[in-house]
Amino acid sequence: MRFSYKILFCSIFIMAVSFGVGGYVFVGDVFQASLEREMGQAKDESSILQFAFETAALNIPSKYDMLQNSVIEEIGANLEKGGQGRLLRLLDERGVVLYASEGFYPDTALLDCIRPNTRAWRVISQDGHYYIQTGTLVTTLDRILYLETMRDITAVYAERTRGFLVYRNMTLLILIFSSVVMYFLSSWLTKPIRLLTQATKKMTAGDYGYRAREISFDEMGQLTHDFNHMAGVLEENIHKLQEEIRAREDFIAAFSHELKTPLTAVIGYADLLRSRKLDEEKHLLSANYIYTEGKRLEAMSLRLLDIIVTKRTAIERQEEKVESLFAYLKEVYGEEKDLLIVFCYQPGIVWVEADLLKSVLINLIDNACKASKSEDTVEVIGEKTEEGYLFSVKDHGVGIPAEECKKITEAFYMVDKSRARSLNGAGLGLALCVEILKLHGSELRIESIEGEGSCFSFLLTDKEAEADGEKKECTTGSSFGGGGLLLSDGPRTNRTL
């Protein structure tokens, strides 16, 4: 059953019960008051008749000591005539009727309740009429008589019946009118619920962008607002999950492709070696292919392992001097001959896991070297900023097309696949960098202009990075940041990339 109908029926039920009980109590109370008023008047009448009977009995000249039955009958008849519609009955000591008005209630049970100096009464019904019957003792001239009266109170009962009727009709009218009003009111009140239900159905059917209309500013409005907010968050999460699934599928596809290429070469050359006797030069060439492709596979699997391990491990960060990081980099690239690698940095302390950070920097410098021509310069810069310590690796090489910039951090993505493979790349280096930086609460920023060069940078925001004072020094001229930077030339690289 619809919620609005429940509200409607509940309110109708409550109203019907309240009107019913209220009406019953009200009409009953009015009836009781009228009945008591009638009762008082019946008792008064009984007293008056008792007094009148005693007076009449005393005033009758008597030949006898005792009041005769015929005299009693006569007095009774006179008393009855004295009032319009008056009904009375006189009985002797043994309960024998001496006089009774016409139509007087025949039953004499009330006599048992009459005691001296008290007045008994009861309500009786006869021929569709209601009466108050009273009874009292009359003691006069050595006679003890019973005097009974009957007062017609049918009008009081009729009034009660009419009261109930009027009240019932009024209640019905009010109920019909209020039902119509309540119907519209309850559907208006429950409209936000219907809109929410509609939104839930739409969303269940896959329309995650659907939102419930906000039509009120009360608790229901708040609920709708919260629901929409929750739906927004859910939609975002669903998109994220879908993205993740897509990325995983892409990863698997790329991974199988990357595996297939070297494996095809390895299998092909191995087959050649085992199926035919080759001359020494071809034999060496084939063996070399198998070796280099095998090495590529090995490097790829190690990189993948690095990424997986990085994703799953919690890192142990320590304070690390930027100077020692740069000293390490200079040592690594110390033998390079072809490229000029310029190291330029401000002293400072970073809060990192040193080995992982070195891995990031080496990956970025390697990529910059791969993208550069011989005689080009690669700049590795470390500078303090207000937010933390900023590392940048700049090159003036091939650059990256704008539309590729977002994709190059995906695993196995390479802008120029043949060039990357010839340089022993597998498209995993930047993916590893991104994971490591994530663990350090940082992210990789890429700025690049195709044909002009690229700049890869990341910011380590830890407060610890601001430790080592502001002393700046520059050992050679530089195009980066001007005075105050420690700058040192790296040797030209002849590294096999």
Does 414 sit near ligand ADP (CB under 6 A)? yes
Nearer to ligand ADP (CB atom), residue 381 or residue 420: 420
CB of residue 421 vs ligand ADP: minimum separation in angstroms?
8
H/E stretch holding 126: strand 119-126
441 vs 463: CA distance, rounded Å: 13
**DSSP strands (E only) in 209-325:** 318-321
Nearest-angstrom CA–CA distance, 116 and 478: 135
* CA distance linking residue 223 with residue 214, whole number of Å: 9
341 touching ligand ADP, by CB under 6 A: no
CA dihedral defined by 202, 206, 210, 214, rounded to 10 degrees?
A: 50
To ligand ADP, the closest distance from the beta carbon of 384 in angstroms equals 24
Q: What is the smallest separation between the CB atom of 427 and ligand ADP, expressed in angstroms?
A: 4
Q: How far is the CB of 246 from ligand ADP (least distance, A)?
A: 19
262 binds ligand ADP (CB under 6 A): no
**Torsion 65-69-70-76 (CA) sign:** positive
Residue 122 to residue 488: CA distance in whole angstroms? 126
Residue from 87, 120, 371, 380 in contact with ligand ADP (CB under 6 A): 371
- Select the residue interacting with ligand ADP from 347, 382, 388, 429 (CB under 6 A): 429
| Cβ-contact 467, 396 below 8 angstroms | no
Does the footprint of ligand ADP cover residue 397 (CB under 6 A)? yes
CB of 306 to ligand ADP, least distance (A): 12
Answer whether 244's CB lies under 8 Å from 411's CB. Answer: no
How many angstroms from the chain centroid is the CA of residue 373? 60
C-beta of 87 vs 307, nearer to ligand ADP:
307
Residue 147 or residue 300: which is nearer to ligand ADP going by CB? 300
Place of tokens 């009359």: 138
Residues ≥6 apart with Cβ < 8 Å to 14: none
Q: Which two tokens stand for residue 369?
A: 């070297």
Among 220, 290, 365, 400, binds ligand ADP (CB under 6 A): 400
* Residue 228 structure tokens: 């929409």
User: 346 to 365, contacts with ligand ADP by CB under 6 A?
Assistant: 363
Is there binding between residue 415 and ligand ADP (CB under 6 A)? yes
Residue among 290 and 364 whose Cβ is closer to ligand ADP? 364
* Tokens, residue 152: 């017609």
Among 150, 430, 434, 486, interactor with ligand ADP by CB under 6 A: 430
Interface with ligand ADP (CB under 6 A), residue from 4, 134, 286, 454: 454
Measured from the CB atom, is 76 or 453 closer to ligand ADP?
A: 453
- Look up residue 166 and give its amino acid: V
Pick the stretch among 87-95, 167-175, 226-234, 394-402 that binds ligand ADP (CB under 6 A): 394-402
The first and second tokens of residue 224, run together, are 């709708």
What is the closest distance, in whole angstroms, from the C-beta atom of residue 447 to ligand ADP in the complex? 11
Contact residues for ligand ADP, defined by CB under 6 A: 363, 367-368, 371, 395, 397-400, 408, 413-416, 420, 425-431, 454
